[in-house]
Amino acid sequence: MGEIISGKALSKTIRAEVKTQVEALQAKHGKVPHLVVILVGEDAASESYVKAKGKACAKAGIRSTILKKEETITEDELLKIIQEFNEDPDTHGILVQLPLPKHIDENKVLLAIQKEKDVDGFHPLNVAAVHLGQEAILPATPKGILTMLKSTGVEIKGKKALVIGRSNIVGKPVSMLLLKEHATVTIAHSRTLDMKKEALEADILVAAVGRPNMVTADMVKEGAVVIDVGVNRIEVNGERKLVGDVDFESVKDKASFITPVPGGVGPMTIASLLQNTIECFTMVEKL
Ligand code: NAP
């Protein structure tokens, strides 16, 4: 059986490191990073993500403000709030929880966040920097995935990587990060003709699709490193269960390393967000 990359354990170590860094910032500069999270509407999943982010900040000693706004807020009102936090010297990171209601242009909102406070790494300038292979605030999920891959000690350079999924928040940025690490990267998506063929060639396989158990053992190369980003809620024998995009039970015997769901990429996303908040603090405070 392959070794399990525990995002739970790794994120615990990172969160402890962040806490120590925050204590050092407090001792040296008399202030701690402050993350503002803006939540629009009543989406249950978004509410639980925001709650988890606030809780993780508190545990790490990071100040957080969660601002809840009605679904009916106008785009202009939201942009004005962002501008106020941009101008506030005591705000270091601004995160607008996605998705937003349909009447609000997500692109306009992400563009409005000051680049240095863009803790999610979704501002077009941060996105561009990732694509150019330059220093940037990395989006939390891809950053967490890279940290997990590096934790295995497996060399990424020269390896064939397959990323299934081409979203702006996971698939595309993770592909760019792997490319920067000198992997030979293939990006697959819903129109890919022969997924099994592509997958069987991959030394590193990242699944970010949102389809329960779509990657099965017959698609995985012996000894591959498998990262499962998927979060899918399914019902098994009347019980609700959280599963990934990878059929963990069968794939674990073929993979050299594999991430579980839950307890894999999810906790690493939050840990990476905390790291980003410190990065933003450093930039905003010009340290
Ligand atoms: P998304 O925006 O819906 O993108 C899904 C991607 O999968 C698209 O590129 C789509 O292709 C592709 N796809 C859909 N069906 C496919 C199929 N049958 N074969 C091959 N590719 C297919 O999703 P996302 O935001 O990237 O998220 C992906 C998954 O990761 C979701 O389960 C999400 O909940 C999870 N996630 C987890 C975390 C975490 O922290 N753990 C963070 C973010 C997301 P097209 O582009 O051709 O439509």
53 is catalytic: yes
Question: Among 117, 118, 120, 247, which one carries the catalytic annotation?
Answer: 120
| Element holding 242 (H helix, E strand) | strand 239-243
210 Cα: distance to centroid of ligand 1 (angstroms): 5
Query: Got the DSSP string for 179-224?
Result: HHTT-EEEEE-TT-S-HHHHHHT-SEEEE-S--TT-B-GGGS-TT-
Q: Domain residue spans in the chain?
A: 30-114, 140-265
Q: What is the pLDDT of residues 205-235, one digit of tens each?
A: 999 999 999 999 999 999 999 999 999 999 9
Nearest C-alpha neighbor of 207 from the set 242, 176, 164: 164
Give the number of residues written for the chain: 287
Rounded-to-integer distance, Cα 264 and Cα 144, Å: 10
Rounded-to-integer distance, Cα 132 and Cα 150, Å: 21
User: Do 30-114 and 140-265 share a fold?
Assistant: yes
pLDDT at residue number 69: 98
Identify the band that residue 269 occupies on the pLDDT scale cut at 50, 70 and 90.
Answer: very high
Rounded-to-integer distance, Cα 3 and Cα 6, Å: 9
What value does the mean pLDDT take over residues 2-17? Answer: 98
pLDDT at residue number 129: 97
Residue written as tokens 């592509």? 198
pLDDT at 1 over 90: no
Residue written as tokens 């402890």? 16
120 is catalytic: yes
Atom of ligand 1 nearest to the CA of 191: 47
Identify the band that residue 30 occupies on the pLDDT scale cut at 50, 70 and 90.
Answer: very high
**pTM to 2 decimal places:** 0.97
* The CATH number, out of the four listed (3.40.50.720, 3.30.365.10, 3.40.50.150, 3.30.930.10), of the domain defined by the range 140-265: 3.40.50.720
Among 122, 206, 209, 233, residue to substitute to test ligand 1 (most atoms within 8 Å of Cβ)? 209
Architecture per CATH, domain 30-114, reads as 3-Layer(aba) Sandwich (3.40)
